[in-house]
Amino acid sequence: MKDFELWLEFEEVDPGNWDVTNEACNIHIQMKDGREYGINVWTYDVFKKIVELDQKCGNNLNGLYLIPPDLFVKELTRDCIEKTIQDLLDIDDLEKVLNTSIISKTDI
Q: Is residue 9 part of a domain?
A: yes
Q: Is residue 14 part of a domain?
A: yes
Q: Is residue 39 part of a domain?
A: yes
What domain range includes position 93? Answer: 4-43+70-102
| Sign, Cα dihedral of 86, 88, 90, 94 | negative
Cβ–Cβ < 8 Å for 71, 6: no
- pLDDT tens profile 38-69: 999 999 999 999 999 999 999 999 999 999 89
Q: Is residue 64 part of a domain?
A: no
Question: pLDDT confidence of 6, banded at 50, 70, 90?
Answer: very high
What was the pLDDT predicted at 2? 80
- This prediction has a pTM of 0.86
Q: Enumerate the β-bridge partners of residue 72.
A: 42
Question: pLDDT confidence of 99, banded at 50, 70, 90?
Answer: confident
Q: Is residue 28 part of a domain?
A: yes
If one counts the domains in the chain, the total is: 1
Q: Is residue 19 part of a domain?
A: yes
Q: Is residue 52 part of a domain?
A: no
Give CA–CA dist 35/7, Å, rounded.
Answer: 14
